[in-house]
Structure 1
Amino acid sequence: MPSEHTSPRGGVARSQRRRVPAGVAVGAALAALSVLVGCAPEPDPAATRNALTEVTSEPVAPDVVDEYSASEHPDPIVEPLDCTPYLIVTARGTGEPSRKQLLGPVARAIEEARPDETLRLDLDYPADTEINAGATLGARTLIDTLNVQAEACPEQRTILLGYSQGALVIGDALAAPDARLVGAAVGEVTEAAAERVLAVVLYGNPRFVGADPTGYGSFSPDVNGLLPRPPGSFTPYEGRMRDYCVADDFICQSTLSVEEAGHVAYYDNGMQADGAAYVITRLGPIPKTDAAEKRGDAERRADESETRDDAPADVRERAAAEGES
């Protein structure tokens, strides 16, 4: 069950009150998620905090800036991926492996809700304690991926999932360069690519802003993360983003607590399921299967047959009257 948590406007409200009913597909996908949540290894929150504090004290080395500068190297550093209806991009937290990460069950629930419609990409970046360099690469890789896919697959919609350092990477990639801590020179998401972002779900975001309407959780709206971004940086994405933060997570609530348990609470507090359900409700209608289409064709033929000459007289008369009207 999703945990009870407060909104940034105050008061306690269960997450279901802020969620559109998702139907059978959501229920099946989240049932699978409940089995998977215990599989992910937890990262070290203290190491994450120490690495994040170095982001503002140690600037990115010039060679890293030059290597990933969009002006110096304008060609994309990624190749186009398959043109599935939905692309799910996960950006893991500091120290998490590519597999069995916190975001894995979230992505899996979305995939299982839409079999054969999704492609998942784990963002190729180090996710280590060298955040300045690694997150700069992550921002460049994500920006190029979004832009390349928008051009190669104009019908594809993108879902972005980020945890901890991964939330920083996604947020800075989407924000204007002057609002970034990492990747200020790695280019910008094009308007076309931004329009194709269907949903953004972040957990334990170090750049969290308590007053922003994108926040969800038990946090205080008066408290920000360790490295808060300028308020309003996510305004273009407000209607398609959830930025989850709990009160005792010192990464997204920098002054409330030093308890390390808060930053890993998302593994078992129900917010994985809540984030997955939110994304699933934003997906488009489920396409008809071949069998459903055939049944629809058969039903249409049956309806049409009622107007044939051998149909009962009252049916033919009703059809003729409807045709005249």
Structure 2
Amino acid sequence: MVTARGTGEPSQGQLLSPVARTVSQARPGDVEVLDLDYPADTDIKEGGTIGVRTLVDVLRVQAETCPAQRFVLLGYSQGALVVGDALAAPEDRMVGPTVGSVDAETLDRVLAVVLYGDPRFVGDEEYNVGSYDVETDGLLPRPDGALDAVGERVRDYCVAGDFICQSSLDFDEEPHVEYYSNGMQGDGAAFVITRLDRVGADLGREADAEPGDADERETPSPTSTPTPSPR
């Protein structure tokens, strides 16, 4: 599980820490948490590019080294921009278009993506959750469908008045930190845990199947997730 912190946040005690902790406690021994090593400073063009390059490299190396490993990606504010751009095609990125891509096989191993206060928020995407205005995008909206490859595994949380994910000239910072106290940390963790449990159940069914029965047994339906709706 990789956390990508927001601008100026520390590695420890960031908004994503309780999310990662809740998931880890729910699946003891199964989860390793890594805070993405990137500047997370105000130079978003340079620092964000470092973040995208680092995340792409982490996913590539881990996928090659640990074939059974799956990935959960968490991002807040600038970290949400980094996570989203790393998963998008280079032509759909705002930062890091030349730093490499996550291949399709590795994308398939991304189990869940949880974003908060995303600068690249797009109001009409089906994976959005919150009190946002569906007709209002973030400050730097990504192209429609840029995350379609992982869309069913994404939750992008945005609240009304958050000028980062609801582009506004009213620079009231209070809504942008509301995620610390409005229950969305717990909601995001629950979504991740549900994804882990469903995949674990699927793997268990595969392990229980008798050798040679692959052609005879019924193929399990693809994993589905509940469709989020604005609150």
Shorter chain as normaliser: what TM range? 0.7 to 0.9
Question: Aligned pairs, how many?
Answer: 201
Matched to 1:273, the amino acid is G
Partner Cα separation in structure 2 for residue 279 and residue 242 of structure 1 = 9
Deviation string, structure 1 residues 45-90 (Cα, Å, up to 9, x no partner): xxxxxxxxxxxxxxxxxxxxxxxxxxxxxxxxxxxxxxxxxxx000
Q: 1:172 is matched with which residue: 76, 85, 89?
A: 85
Cα distance in 2 for residues equivalent to 1:148 and 1:196? 13
Q: Aligned residue for 1:258? A: 171
Question: Map of 1:16-95 to 2, 5 A cutoff?
Answer: 88-95=1-8
> Counterparts of 1:155-170 in structure 2 under 5 Å?
155-170=68-83
CA distance, structure 1, for counterparts of residue 45 and residue 152 of structure 2 = 29
1:116 aligns with 2:116: no
Partner of 2:151: 238
Which ranges of structure 2 fall in alignment gaps of 5 or more residues?
A: 205-231
Map residues 116-135 of structure 1 onto 2, 5 A cutoff. Answer: 116-135=29-48
Match for 2:18 among 89, 99, 105?
A: 105
> Counterpart of 2:57 in 1: which secondary structure?
helix
Q: Please report how far the alpha carbon of residue 259 of structure 1 lies from its aligned counterpart in structure 2 after TM superposition.
A: 2.2
- Who is 1:215 aligned against? 128
Deviation at 1:99, TM superposition (A): 0.6
C-alpha distance in 1 between matches for 2:78 and 2:14: 13
The aligned counterpart of 2:215 is none
**Whole-Å separation in 2 of the counterparts to 1:126 and 1:260:** 21
Where does residue 8 of structure 1 map in the other structure?
A: none
Q: Secondary structure at the match of 1:119?
A: coil
| Cα displacement (A) at 1:258 | 3.5
Q: Distance in 1 between matches of 2:180 and 2:107?
A: 29
1:187 is aligned, of 76, 95, 100, to 100
Distance 1:111 1:156 in 2: 15
Q: Distance in 1 between matches of 2:127 and 2:61?
A: 27
Q: Is the Cα contact below 8 Å between 1:210 and 1:221 reproduced in 2?
A: yes
Partner of 2:188: 275
User: How many angstroms apart in 2 are the aligned matches of 1:200 and 1:128?
Assistant: 22
CA contact (8 A) 1:173 1:189 kept: yes
Which structure has the larger Rg over C-alpha atoms? 1
For residues 178 and 122 of structure 2, what CA distance do their matches in structure 1 show? 19
Amino acid at match of 2:21: R
Deviation at 1:153, TM superposition (A): 1.1
Q: Structure 2 length normalisation: TM-score?
A: 0.84
- In 2: Cα distance, 1:237 partner to 1:175 partner: 9
| Secondary structure in structure 2 of the residue aligned to 1:281 | helix
Code of the residue aligned with 2:55 in structure 1: it is L
Q: Percent identity?
A: 62
1:226 Cα deviation after fit: 0.2
Secondary structure at 2:80's aligned position in 1? helix
> CA–CA distance in 1 between the matches of 2:172 and 2:42?
20
Correspondences of 1:186-205 after superposition (within 5 Å): 186-205=99-118
**Residue number in structure 2 paired with 1:62:** none
**Structure 1 position 149, deviation (Å):** 1.1
**Structure 1 position 155, deviation (Å):** 1.0
Deviation for aligned residue 1:256? 8.0
Amino acid at match of 2:118: N
| Alignment match, 1:302 | none
8 A Cα contact 1:106 1:272, kept in partner = yes
Give the 3-state SS of the residue equivalent to 2:174 in structure 1.
helix
How far did residue 145 of structure 1 move? Answer: 0.7
CA distance in 2, matches of 1:155, 1:256: 46
Q: Which residue matches 1:23?
A: none
- Deviation, structure 1 residue 257: 4.6
User: What TM-score, normalized by structure 1, do the two folds share?
Assistant: 0.60
Q: 8 Å contact 1:223–1:255 — kept in the other structure?
A: no
